[in-house]
Amino acid sequence: MRCARLWLVGLGVLAVVVAPPPARAGDPAPASPGKQSPALSAEKLAERIDALIEAKWREKDIRPSPLADDGEFLRRLSLDVGGRIPAVMDARQFFGDKSPEKRRKAVDKLLDSPLYSTHFAAVWRSLMVPDNNNPFLQGNGPQLEAWLKNRLRENTHYDKMVREVLTAPVVLDRQAMAGRTSVEPTPLPFYQAQEMKPENLAAATSRLFLGVKLECAQCHNHPFAKWKRDQFWEYAAFFAGIQTPPGQAGFVTATNDAADKREIKISGTDKVVQARFLDRGEPKWQDKVSTRQTLADWVTSVDNPYFARAAANRLWAHFFGLGLVEPVDEESEDNRPSHPELLDELARQFVLHDFDMKYLIRAITYSKAYQRSSVAESADVPDPRLFSRMSIKGLTAEQLYDSIVEATRYKEPGQIANARGFVTPGGARAEFVSRFSNHSDKRTEFQTSILQALALMNGQFVSDATSTDIAKSETLAGIIDAPWMKTPEKVEALYLAALSRKPRAAELERLVKYVDRGGPSGDKDKALADVFWVLLNSSEFILNH
């Protein structure tokens, strides 16, 4: 059977186009709206996005790809917003909807579903606490993810979420932890991942929340870099009040924020610097307002020249695979946005809508730019940062696992969240995610390792998923045991389950013949399992296009 499956694996394979080196971007301007900046609806902002993107095409004489068909769009949207491929029932309903507003309704439905908060919690957790082999962080990462999920489910606006992170209590009492069977959702793992060190927290928060890669200035002044060593440590001084008792890193932490510490010694020197914002502004200290609270006030301010732009650019990169500034945390005079006016507009509207992430997601996904096909119009592929077609993105390990589960209707035992949303780590999903974690910063340059490919082709999880045993693969067993379905209908059902589309005429003809003759073994059921195995191993399944 394996030989037959390898012979079939070419079906549905897509070519991955590796993005060329990006253009470079400039310093940001404040995103605070002026009197002449009206708040736009998500629909109007989507139109504005398209107008600014299309202006670049006219300038470069670019012919864009057509809009994606319904199957390609729904699969892409479900992966980007919900973290998994759509259910067969949802796909059938979407294909049957003849309303001109069906795509916007699909966006709204996903944003209102639990899939959105679950997926974006994983997205933000991976940015704040990257996957690594540290067992302590692996065990505590779910606490942060559960906290993020709760905030996203409540549609807590982005500025408030960031403020909670920046001002989070970092005191744990070992006695209070004793005897607990689970730990409550908290942003504390973000601080633990940075070892509670002010310099690490400065680098992480500036990169995540301001789009500024500051750590290069930690040790010395680069002659051509904007950020200087003093600026790095002045920013780090906002975290100087966080201390970890010796020998207790990551477990029991203490803070002397109450003492309002506002200075720090530059590592390796005797020089002491005072806390100062990255725009070189002097903090206006207030009684009973901690240093980190003062920092949070500046970071999340509508007048901050970095905050809204960094968030808008990061969301754009999530949906398009490439930021308007790329890399997303290196905007500078030498790294200009591909579409400066568009980034300004996204940041301005984000501020005008009180940092509502759902608003910005709606505007981006409503746009024709997001809805374009990933298939290039000619062999001469334009610069991906012109966004004339959708870039092909690799799936995260979570997306891949959850999509296989959705396609096969596999149910992992256990893994029940408590009332506060915390899930104990472990199980088949955790093992799969650990094996398939991708540490590349560029989703458009995703590569599957040989071990990962072998795990998909021959691993127990996919083997069970393509088993004819209903206890292991509800989808496949249900299709096989449906006597009212003819072979073409069974093949079509497998395509909808795995690829969210119907087979093309040539695919259907080829596979119906293969199934009807029973493949190499003469067994129709095994031949259908072969077809399902091929679809789950195809590039069309393991990529977001």
Helices (H), 273-396: 291-299, 307-320, 340-352, 357-366
Q: Residue 145, class by beta-carbon neighbours within 10 Å (0-12 exposed, 13-18 middle, 19+ buried)? A: buried
Q: What is the pLDDT of residue 489?
A: 97
Distance separating alpha carbons of residues 224 and 215, to the nearest angstrom: 15
Distance separating alpha carbons of residues 46 and 366, to the nearest angstrom: 6
Percent of the chain scoring above 90 in pLDDT: 57
Neighbouring-strand partners of residue 372: 67
Mean pLDDT of 489-514: 96
- 330-343: string of b/e by CB count within 10 Å (b at 16+)? bbbeebbbbbbebb
Asked whether the beta carbons of 501 and 491 are under 8 A apart, the reply is no
Complete DSSP assignment for 381-426: PPPGGG-SSPPPEEPPHHHHHHHHHHHHT---S-----TTS-----
Does the pLDDT at position 490 exceed 80?
A: yes
Distance separating alpha carbons of residues 114 and 516, to the nearest angstrom: 41
Query: C-alpha angle 417/127/387, rounded to 5°?
Result: 115
Region of poorest pLDDT, from 290-299, 458-467, 512-521: 458-467
Query: Of 473, 468, 441, nearest to 527 (Cα)?
Result: 468
- 28-46: string of b/e by CB count within 10 Å (b at 16+)? bebbbbeeeeeebebeebb
| Chain segment 278-299, per-residue pLDDT in tens | 988 899 999 889 999 999 999 9
- Confidence category of residue 440, pLDDT binned at 50, 70, 90: low
Asked whether the beta carbons of 359 and 44 are under 8 A apart, the reply is no
Does the pLDDT at position 492 exceed 70?
A: yes
Distance separating alpha carbons of residues 135 and 520, to the nearest angstrom: 46
Q: Would you kindly state where each structural domain of the chain is located, as residue ranges?
A: 42-112+306-391, 157-210+213-299, 395-544
Task: Give the predicted TM-score (pTM) of the model.
Answer: 0.88
Does the pLDDT at position 85 exceed 70?
A: yes
DSSP 330: B
Asked whether the beta carbons of 402 and 122 are under 8 A apart, the reply is no
Distance separating alpha carbons of residues 387 and 234, to the nearest angstrom: 38
Q: Residue 100, class by beta-carbon neighbours within 10 Å (0-12 exposed, 13-18 middle, 19+ buried)? A: exposed
| Chain segment 92-125, per-residue pLDDT in tens | 999 999 999 999 999 999 999 999 999 999 999 9
| Chain segment 353-404, per-residue pLDDT in tens | 999 999 999 999 999 999 999 998 776 777 899 999 999 998 888 899 899 9
The residue with greater pLDDT, 526 or 451, is 526
Q: Which residues contact 147 (CB under 8 A, 6 or more apart)?
A: 185, 186, 187, 421
Does the pLDDT at position 484 exceed 60?
A: yes
Complete DSSP assignment for 50-115: HHHHHHHHHHHT--PPPBPPHHHHHHHHIIIIISSPPPHHHHHHHHH---TTHHHHHHHHHHTSHH
Quote the longest CA-to-CA distance of the chain.
Answer: 82
Asked whether the beta carbons of 52 and 367 are under 8 A apart, the reply is no
Does the pLDDT at position 172 exceed 60?
A: no
**Backbone dihedral angles phi then psi of residue 181, each to the nearest 5 degrees:** -90, -20
How far, in Å, are 49, 319, 517 from residue 499 at the CA level? 29, 19, 24
Does the pLDDT at position 318 exceed 50?
A: yes
Q: What share of the chain is helix, strand, coil (3-state, %, to 5)?
A: 50, 5, 45
Query: Of 445, 444, 427, nearest to 317 (Cα)?
Result: 444
**Backbone dihedral angles phi then psi of residue 416, each to the nearest 5 degrees:** -100, 130
